[in-house]
Amino acid sequence: MEEMQTAERKANLGDAGTAVKEGIVRSLKGINEIEAEIVSLARNTVGDALRTTGDVAAEGLSVATNIMKGAVQATEEVGTGLIMGTKSVAKGIIMGVSDVGGDLVTAAGQTTRGAVQAASEVGADVAMVARRTVDGVLEATKEVGGNVEQVAETAVVGAIEAASAIGKTATRSVTEILVGVASGAKEVLGSILPQPGRPSGGAVAEGGAKEKKARAE
């Protein structure tokens, strides 16, 4: 009798595990479909907007920024999906710019700037939004055959520049989460981030000028 009850319990646990597994699979499939829809929406919106203006170079920057900000605000209003949404929108923006022959490198920087600014405005996790936005930008760049290294560098620098306008805490958190994403960005970041014990560029230049003057005298 006891052995039968044990067998039944194991069977029930097995059924429960199967049910959870199937439920998760359905949910993940649903999430993938939602992400694909968001990518498509952002891509088509960017493409249509740039085709309408007829000036991809001039309008691409503002379009990318406005769409990214709108996406962050929308997900904040809904109260969920911010991290997932920002990656999908960023991916759609880059693909939309690519569709009309726009500059992916420039669009990447503007997209990450817009995401960080918008995240700060709504009180979201700036660092996580920055990371997911960069992920979306790079994923799209790979799919359209763009220069991943250049795009990564510009995207990372754009995010950190936007964070530096918010404050030291935001700058630090965004920098830490994006470390290693773009090796080519390290030199550029050196000119953005303050270095302990190192005088600013202006101070160095001034010191050099004084030294030259002293030698001349």
Q: What is the DSSP annotation of the chain?
A: -HHHHHHHHHHHHHHHHHHHHHHHHHHHHHHHHHHHHHHHHHHHHHHHHHHHHS-HHHHHHHHHHHHHHHHHHHHHHHTS-HHHHHHHHHHHHHHHHHHTT--HHHHHHHHHHHHHHHHHHHT--HHHHHHHHHHHHHHHHHHHT--HHHHHHHHHHHHHHHHHHH-HHHHHHHHHHHTTT-GGGHHHHHHHS--TT---HHHHHHHHHHHHHHHH-
Residue-wise pLDDT for 115-137, tens only, equals 999 889 888 889 999 999 999 99
Please give the model's pTM, rounded to 2 decimal places: 0.72
Q: What is the share, in percent, of the chain residues with pLDDT greater than 70?
A: 66
The proportion of the chain whose per-residue pLDDT surpasses 90, expressed as a percent, equals 32
- Mean local confidence (pLDDT), 88-92: 92
State the pLDDT at residue 155. Answer: 94
- Delimit the domains of the chain by residue range: 10-188
